[in-house]
């Protein structure tokens, strides 16, 4: 009876846990991700029209406010003011609409719209703008979102005469609204206040008088104009017709040569697609476009017009120009001469077929399959093999997706996005076991998250981004230096439990250290630097008064406890901080345009003040938003980076007397590029140099401190175009620490920190937090023991990093086990049984095989092509046959067995009946093996190298061993001690490949 009870209990627990895991929303998170084109007809959800993600980036939601069209071919408009009184830049457009509802959308920019409240009929009664309406974006036929290239934005606000956005929506079929539901279609504009080097614009080519005869198979509409403005550079195009259009093509004609800008069927999603050729258009060139129509099926003439039964012939060119000569909108409406179009390439007359099935799929889907249309980037991309995607393999086993290995075009931005997606996907694997965490010994979800991050660390350390034959270099290319750092245990990882106390910080702007090694935090309290804080460098919120909270916090670097607090009612917008040899504070305030020297006794005594309060300037006695200050520990001379308005470094004596100033240097004397926001300073005492983080130029420049003579420049693609802050350590001959910055939406490398060899300029290591994300890393300091602190202005936090070995030693102290790794091994091993009888694959010649010392390498038999095909097909079929239910049951077997053992033992002690429920003391078989792995006592371990090598496209490099040290239970049984040095052991760094 007791045995029967145990069995019933086991099955009850299994089915309960399985049903909960299936019902858990996190289990199905991949299938219900929020899409950019979320339901446009949901007018009930409250939306924030304006969202500020950090002091520079913000988004604006523009929606029609609950429109109910009463007749077909209605045009409705709504207007939204530009949210800044000065210049801002649109860097991304995200549509929220469906072709079932909206025939098309157009976004206009103008100074004075016809109305500023609600919506109006802009098709019959009124127009869009009272002045010139500038087209900025257009959408139709479920077109996916379109991202602008890096450093390109549509300029609005300020003196651009674009003070309002007007969204126009054409509703083609009113019968869709016969149930009287309301429509809230629209756009989200992602914007930045950071000046963009290139200004985007729109060139519209359209036919105004084309007539399409009924029944005529082919009718051409030709448009051509001579270009008469400054050079422009097309990077995207869009075609638009109604139902009779077959193909639309656009060209640049120069010296009789026709160069294609773009060609597309207007019946496909009418997005902005990358141009066919990277070209420029200069004064005297001709821009030409042709629309090919058919009149078949019509009984009357079809003319150009605004209704669905009319036609349109539009070819949009999205371009950029130099920001000093940019023209935001141009148009061409002239008919092209037959003589000119006699030489048009034949491709312009060949229709692009669109299958009826494709048309039906577009109508049935509320969102297209393709996520984003990536526009033309200036750098050439090379095709490489995407390797090292651990999640793809696990997903293959789970049957969630098919692509184990896929091709892509490598560039740093895409690699960064792929890295973030990979992290999220590994997270989803772990989240599927969320209900099991407490039963597996984890006290909190955060403990299991750390285990998840350690799985990712193995992947990140050992995976191969591209094969050795590729000439493309991944983002973390300096593998030699990184390997050296890893071998020395110097890779920086986050201390997840620091600080131990709540620091109650505002925007963290500056960090420093005193002579005791204490951390000093300079923050903004309840003041926030937003888009309305400054106009032309002048602070606009003086009426808020100074910050009433303590803005200077002295913190214990080990425990995070506040030791001292000061700086009340003194600062308006804190920015930079440093200390001198006497531990006095040196600080900058960008609102006051001043530099302060304060005593460190907590009394906030002003020992020296440079600059005039609230008076910006560029002479010897004024600053304009000074960003940072540093002090020469030997001479006491003061160096100020000035700053957001000025592009210079100023040098003062210890008493505050002006000595000199200088601008940027350059190794290329013929092209001296000035500073673009010198944002952070660090002094190199062993080299007598001063280094500057030139933020918007994405570089570090170093100078002789005494003379200002240029020494060197460090500029890396991995910086993503911006360097926010730097720090220096004389260790190992000189190490430079840096953090990059938050760019306009989605246009750069990931936010991370860097360790750089000062002499060779080589990136030795890159690091980022594991339990959170960098949002706006604003300052960085490094201690004598190599600990690194990063202040994040957007998350109001300070994040601590230490070397990997030090962090691993603290794993057990934090009560966190690495048991989850072993479970993952057991889980994968259990599902690889179909592969066990297959012949081994031959070794990969280009990869050095890593083996344990006790293993002997035996020759591997060669595999015939037919056998390779058989291996591939069997492996693929076996992986696809594993269901989610079986995986879940395998994961829960150890848990159920443990519970069953406990219940049986409890029952046995109470009943003293040893015959009803017996459990062997040394379980054997698959269940026992898995249980042994959970306890950390399994004799063998999973060799991921062999498994990965059996899949096409994966090298075995760095995956021959993946293991953890024994658990606490095992160590206690062996020596009876409680180890304080449990480490997470990574395999040796991969060897060089040919």
DSSP 136-194: EEEEETTPPPEEPPTTEEEEESTTSS--EEEEEEEE--GGGGTT---B--EEEEEEESS
pLDDT over 90 at 962, yes or no: no
pLDDT over 80 at 164, yes or no: yes
How far is Cα 63 from Cα 48, in angstroms, rounded to an integer?
A: 11
Q: What is the dihedral of CA 460, 465, 467, 471, to 10 degrees?
A: -130
Residue 202 buriedness (CB in 10 A; 0-12 / 13-18 / 19+) = buried
Longest dimension (CA), the chain: 106
Binding residues: 103-104, 170, 240, 242, 312, 511, 524, 575, 644, 679, 695, 778-779
**Residue 818's pLDDT is what?**
44
Same fold yes or no, 56-196 and 200-353: yes
Domain boundaries, the chain: 56-196, 200-353, 579-803
How far is Cα 905 from Cα 918, in angstroms, rounded to an integer?
A: 9
Query: Which residues are CB-neighbours of 514 under 8 A, at least 6 positions away?
Result: 520, 554, 579, 583, 600
81-93, pLDDT tens digit by residue?
A: 998 888 899 998 9
How far is Cα 963 from Cα 648, in angstroms, rounded to an integer?
A: 53
HSE-up of residue 370 (Cα within 13 Å, Cβ side): 14
**Residue 791's pLDDT is what?**
97
Residues acting as catalytic residues: 103-104, 168, 170, 240, 242, 312
pLDDT over 90 at 481, yes or no: no
**Among 453-467, 585-599, 731-745, 805-819, the range of highest mean pLDDT:** 585-599
At residue 12 the predicted structure's pLDDT band, cuts being 50, 70 and 90, is very low
Mark residue 640 as left, alpha or beta (left: phi above 0; alpha: psi -120 to 50; beta: remaining).
beta
What CATH topology corresponds to 200-353? Jelly Rolls (2.60.120)
Binding residues for Ca(2+): 511, 779
What CATH topology corresponds to 56-196? Jelly Rolls (2.60.120)
How far is Cα 646 from Cα 218, in angstroms, rounded to an integer?
A: 61
Weakest-pLDDT range from 53-62, 320-329, 933-942: 933-942
What is the side-by-side order of every strand in the sheet holding 777-782?
492-494, 797-803, 788-792, 777-782
Check if the beta carbon of residue 141 is closer than 8 Å to that of residue 267: yes
SS3 67: strand
Task: Give the predicted TM-score (pTM) of the model.
Answer: 0.57
Residue 785 buriedness (CB in 10 A; 0-12 / 13-18 / 19+) = exposed
Check if the beta carbon of residue 128 is closer than 8 Å to that of residue 114: yes
At residue 145 the predicted structure's pLDDT band, cuts being 50, 70 and 90, is confident
Check if the beta carbon of residue 107 is closer than 8 Å to that of residue 135: yes
The stretch 768-792 carries a mean pLDDT of: 94
Q: Which pairing describes strands 538-539 and 534-535: parallel, antiparallel, or unpaired?
A: antiparallel
On the question of a cis peptide bond just before residue 718, with omega within 30 degrees of 0, the verdict is no
Q: Which pairing describes strands 152-156 and 198-206: parallel, antiparallel, or unpaired?
A: parallel
SS3 3: helix
pLDDT: which is higher, 150 or 911: 150
**Residue 367's pLDDT is what?**
37
Check if the beta carbon of residue 768 is closer than 8 Å to that of residue 753: yes
How far is Cα 117 from Cα 498, in angstroms, rounded to an integer?
A: 49
Least Cα distance to 647 among 606, 678, 692, 608 occurs for 678
Query: How far, CA to CA in Å, does 172 sit from each of 69, 70, 266?
Result: 9, 11, 16
Query: Which phi and psi (to 5°) does residue 955 adopt?
Result: -85, 165
Residue 748 buriedness (CB in 10 A; 0-12 / 13-18 / 19+) = buried
Domain 579-803 bears CATH identifier 2.120.10.30 = yes
**Residue 352's pLDDT is what?**
86
188-230, pLDDT tens digit by residue?
A: 999 998 888 899 999 999 999 999 999 999 999 999 999 999 9
DSSP one-letter code for 129: B
How far is Cα 781 from Cα 729, in angstroms, rounded to an integer?
A: 9
At residue 146 the predicted structure's pLDDT band, cuts being 50, 70 and 90, is confident
Weakest-pLDDT range from 287-296, 453-462, 719-728: 453-462
**Residue 20's pLDDT is what?**
39
**Among 143-152, 368-377, 503-512, 596-605, the range of highest mean pLDDT:** 503-512
Query: Which residues are CB-neighbours of 135 under 8 A, at least 6 positions away?
Result: 106, 107, 108, 202, 204, 316, 329
How far is Cα 730 from Cα 103, in angstroms, rounded to an integer?
A: 63
Sign of CA dihedral 38, 39, 45, 46: positive
pLDDT: which is higher, 20 or 310: 310
How far is Cα 768 from Cα 751, in angstroms, rounded to an integer?
A: 7
312-360, pLDDT tens digit by residue?
A: 999 999 999 998 889 989 999 999 999 999 999 999 999 888 765 554 4
Binding residues for Cu(2+): 103-104, 170, 240, 242, 312
**Residue 891's pLDDT is what?**
63
pLDDT over 70 at 46, yes or no: no
Query: How far, CA to CA in Å, does 721 sit from each of 321, 358, 780, 833, 861?
Result: 19, 40, 18, 48, 50
pLDDT over 60 at 78, yes or no: yes
The stretch 233-248 carries a mean pLDDT of: 94
438-465, pLDDT tens digit by residue?
A: 433 444 444 544 544 444 444 444 333 3
**Among 442-451, 564-573, 599-608, the range of highest mean pLDDT:** 564-573
**Residue 903's pLDDT is what?**
65
């Amino acid at each position: 009876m007791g045995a029967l009870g145990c069995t019933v209990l086991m099955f009850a627990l299994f089915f309960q846990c399985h049903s909960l895991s299936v019902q858990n929303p996190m289990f199905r998170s991949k299938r219900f991700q929020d899409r950019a084109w979320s339901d446009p007809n949901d007018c009930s959800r409250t939306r924030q029209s304006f969202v500020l993600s950090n002091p520079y980036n913000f988004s604006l939601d523009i929606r029609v406010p609950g429109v109910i069209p009463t007749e077909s071919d209605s045009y409705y408009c709504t207007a939204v003011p530009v949210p800044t009184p000065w210049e801002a830049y649109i860097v991304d457009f995200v549509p929220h609409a469906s072709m079932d509802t909206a025939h098309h959308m157009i976004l206009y920019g103008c100074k004075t719209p016809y109305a500023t409240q609600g919506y109006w009929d802009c098709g019959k009664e009124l127009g869009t703008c009272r002045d010139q309406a500038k087209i900025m974006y257009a959408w139709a036929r479920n077109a996916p979102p379109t991202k602008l290239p890096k450093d390109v934005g549509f300029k609005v606000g300020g003196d651009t005469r674009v003070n309002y956005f007007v969204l126009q929506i054409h509703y083609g079929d009113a019968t869709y609204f016969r149930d009287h539901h309301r429509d809230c279609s629209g756009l989200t504009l992602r914007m930045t206040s950071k000046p963009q080097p290139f200004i985007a614009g729109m060139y519209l080519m359209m036919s105004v008088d084309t007539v399409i005869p009924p029944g005529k198979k082919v009718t051409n509409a030709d448009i051509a104009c001579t270009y008469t403005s400054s050079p422009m550079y097309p990077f995207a195009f869009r075609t638009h017709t109604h139902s009779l259009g077959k193909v639309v093509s656009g060209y640049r004609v120069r010296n009789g040569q026709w160069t294609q800008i773009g060609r597309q069927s207007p019946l496909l999603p009418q997005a902005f697609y990358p141009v066919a050729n990277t070209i420029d258009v200069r004064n005297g060139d001709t821009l030409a476009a042709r629309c090919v129509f058919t009149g078949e099926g019509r009984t009357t003439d079809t003319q150009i017009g605004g209704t669905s039964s009319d036609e349109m012939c539009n070819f949009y060119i999205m371009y950029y120009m130099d920001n000093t000569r940019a023209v935001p909108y141009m148009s061409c409406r002239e008919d092209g001469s037959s003589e000119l179009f006699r030489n048009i390439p034949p491709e312009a007359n060949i229709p692009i077929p669109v299958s009826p099935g494709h048309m039906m799929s577009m109508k049935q889907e509320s969102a297209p399959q393709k996520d984003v249309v990536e526009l033309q980037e200036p750098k050439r991309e090379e095709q490489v093999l995407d390797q090292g995607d651990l999640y793809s393999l696990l997903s293959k086993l789970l049957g969630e997706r098919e692509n184990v290995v896929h091709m892509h075009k490598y560039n740093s931005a895409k690699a960064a996005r792929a890295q973030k997606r990979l992290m999220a996907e590994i997270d989803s694997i772990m989240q599927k076991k969320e209900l099991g965490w407490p039963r597996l010994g984890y006290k909190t979800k955060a403990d299991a998250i750390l285990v998840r991050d350690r799985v990712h660390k193995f992947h990140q350390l050992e995976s191969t981004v591209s094969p050795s034959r590729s000439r493309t270099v991944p983002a973390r290319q300096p593998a030699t230096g990184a390997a050296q750092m890893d071998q020395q245990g110097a890779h920086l990882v986050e201390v997840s439990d620091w600080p131990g106390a709540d620091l109650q910080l505002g925007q963290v702007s500056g960090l420093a250290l005193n002579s005791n090694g204490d951390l000093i935090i300079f923050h903004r309290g309840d003041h926030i630097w937003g888009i309305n804080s400054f106009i032309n460098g002048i602070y606009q919120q003086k009426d808020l008064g100074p910050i009433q909270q303590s803005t200077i916090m002295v913190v214990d670097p080990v425990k995070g406890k506040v030791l001292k607090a000061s700086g009340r009612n003194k600062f308006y917008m804190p920015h930079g901080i440093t200390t001198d040899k006497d531990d006095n504070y040196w600080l900058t305030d960008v609102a006051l345009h001043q530099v302060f020297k304060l005593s460190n006794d907590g009394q906030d005594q002003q020992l020296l003040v440079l600059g005039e309060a609230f008076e910006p300037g560029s002479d010897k006695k004024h600053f304009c938003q000074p960003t940072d200050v540093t002090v020469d520990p030997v001479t006491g001379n003061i160096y100020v980076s000035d700053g957001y308005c000025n592009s210079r470094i100023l040098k003062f004596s210890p008493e505050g007397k002006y000595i000199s100033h200088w601008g940027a240097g350059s190794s290329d004397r013929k092209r001296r590029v000035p500073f673009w926001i010198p944002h952070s300073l660090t002094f190199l005492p062993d080299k007598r140099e001063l280094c500057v983080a030139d933020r918007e130029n994405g570089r570090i420049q170093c100078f002789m401190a005494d003379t200002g003579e240029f020494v060197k420049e460090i500029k890396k693609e991995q910086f993503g175009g911006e360097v926010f802050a730097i720090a220096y350590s004389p260790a190992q001959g000189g190490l430079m620490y840096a953090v990059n910055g938050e760019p306009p939406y989605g246009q750069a490398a990931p936010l991370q920190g860097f360790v750089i060899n000062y002499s060779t300029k080589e990136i030795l290591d890159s690091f980022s937090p594991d339990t959170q994300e960098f949002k706006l890393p604003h300052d960085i300091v490094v201690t004598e023991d190599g600990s690194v602190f990063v202040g994040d202005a957007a998350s109001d936090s300070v994040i601590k990093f230490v070397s990997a070995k030090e962090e691993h030693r603290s794993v057990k102290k934090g009560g966190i086990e690495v048991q989850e790794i072993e479970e993952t091994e057991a889980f994968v091993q259990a599902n690889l049984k179909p592969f066990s009888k297959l012949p081994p694959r031959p070794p990969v010649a280009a990869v050095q095989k890593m083996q344990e010392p006790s293993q002997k390498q035996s020759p591997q038999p060669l595999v015939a092509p037919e056998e390779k095909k058989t291996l591939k097909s069997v492996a693929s079929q076996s992986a696809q046959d594993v269901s989610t239910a079986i995986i879940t049951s395998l994961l829960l077997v150890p848990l159920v067995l443990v519970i069953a053992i406990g219940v049986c033992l409890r029952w046995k002690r109470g009943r003293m009946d040893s015959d009803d429920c017996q459990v062997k003391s040394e379980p054997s078989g698959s269940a026992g093996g898995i249980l042994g792995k959970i306890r950390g006592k399994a004799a063998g371990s999973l060799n991921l190298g062999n498994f990965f090598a059996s899949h096409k496209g994966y090298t075995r490099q760095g995956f021959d061993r993946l293991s953890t040290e024994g658990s606490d239970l095992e160590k206690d049984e062996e020596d009876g001690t409680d180890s304080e040095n449990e480490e997470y052991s990574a395999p040796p760094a991969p060897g060089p490949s040919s």
